[in-house]
Amino acid sequence: MPVAIVGVGKIARDEHVPAIAADPSFDLAATVSRSGGLEGVENHETLDALLQARPDIPAVSLCMPPQVRFKAARAAIAAGRHVMLEKPPGASVSEVLTLDRLARRAGVTLYASWHSRAAAGVAMAQAWLADKRLTSVRIDWKEDVRKWHPGQDWVWQPGGLGVFDPGINALSILTAILPAPVHLTEAQLSFPENRDTPIAAELTFTDGADLTVAAAFDWRQEGGEIWQIEVETDAGTLRLTEGGARLAIGDADQGVASPGEYPALYSHFASLIAQGASDVDASPLIHVADAFMLGRRIAVDPFHD
Identify whether the C-beta of residue 42 lies closer than 8 Å to the C-beta of residue 31: yes
Identify whether the C-beta of residue 247 lies closer than 8 Å to the C-beta of residue 173: no
Q: Which of 87, 132, 142, 147 is catalytic?
A: 87
* Catalytic-residue membership of 71: no
The residues that bridge with 248 in the sheet, in sequence order, are 239, 253
CA distances from 44 to 9, 40, 154, 170 (A): 15, 13, 23, 34
Residues with Cβ < 8 Å from 241, sequence gap 6 or more? 227, 228, 248
CA-based max dimension of the chain = 58
Residue 172 in 3-state DSSP? helix
| Cα separation, 77 vs 84, whole angstroms | 11
> Which residues participate in catalysis according to the annotation?
87
